[in-house]
Every structure is written in C-alpha cells, then in structure tokens.
Amino acid sequence: MVVSNLILVGLFFLPRMDHRPPHPRDLKEEIIDALELDENQKKTYLNLASEHHELQLEQSKRIEEAKAQIYLHLTDADTLLQDSLWTNVSNAFMEMERIHYQHFLDIKALCTQEQFPRYQALSKRFAKWFHPSAHGHGRD
C-alpha cells in the first residue's frame, strides 16, 4: 500500500518536472547549447542576459513599490485612488512581461537562418516554462 501510494505521488509530479525552467545559471548554458551559438553570438547573448537581469531587477523594485502603495492605503476609502493603485501594479507586472518577451526577441535576432529552427523548438520550451503548471499552479 505504501509503495503504491509513493508511485502514484511520483507519477503525479513527474510530468511537471520536464516543464520547469532551469536555474538561471543553467538557462544561459541551455540556450547557448540549444541554439549552438558561436563565440561572437555567445558574447552578445551573455551581454543581453546581463542587461535583461538588470532591467528585471529594476522592474521588480517598481512592482514591490507599487504593491506597497496599495497596502499603505488600506484604510483609504477613495475608490479612485484604489483603482489607480491597482492599475499601477498591473502595469508594473505587464512591463515585466514585456521585458522578458523583448529579451526572447533579442535572442531570436541573434540567430542565423540555420539556427532559426532550433530557436523555434526552444521557443516551445519557453512557453512550457511560463505555463502556470510549471510553477505548481495548475495542471498540464
């Protein structure tokens, strides 16, 4: 009985493991390897990744600041203010997604015609990584 329960639990979680994004350090190497980037492309990609990381950190701070504003005004009855604060949070999250999306477009721009099929295959993996089930928030 215990063994069968362990097998069932393992089967429940096993399919999800394939969809989880690798650790950022490993992600860089995975992208470099999957696209078979040459040395110049690799150097450019690593610079892009560094710039992306900085933009991501800045935007994360903006998100936290926008969220903090909502909680600072918990007792405020002004619904227009509340709507404005929630819009700020939504916009901050949307901008974060734009930053990520642009990063993947920048990676695409690095690719040669010969690498483009590999980019297309990799982009399907990106979609799985960003699916809610990749983070335990849903089912496949």
Domains within the chain, CATH numbers bracketed: 2-135 (1.20.120.1490)
- Residue 135 in this model has a pLDDT that exceeds 80: no
User: What percent of the chain is modeled with pLDDT above 90?
Assistant: 63
pLDDT by residue (tens digit) across 3-34?
344 343 343 444 444 444 555 567 899 999 99
Of the candidates 130, 108, 106, which has an alpha carbon nearest to the alpha carbon of residue 35?
Answer: 108
Task: Identify the pLDDT of residue 55.
Answer: 96
pLDDT by residue (tens digit) across 117-129?
999 999 988 888 7
Of the candidates 32, 27, 46, 35, which has an alpha carbon nearest to the alpha carbon of residue 121?
Answer: 35
Statement: the pTM of the whole predicted model exceeds 0.75 = no
Task: Count Cβ atoms below 10 Å from residue 85 Cβ, excluding itself.
Answer: 20
d(CA 45, CA 43): 5
pLDDT by residue (tens digit) across 102-118?
999 999 999 999 999 99
**And the tokens for 116?**
């483009």
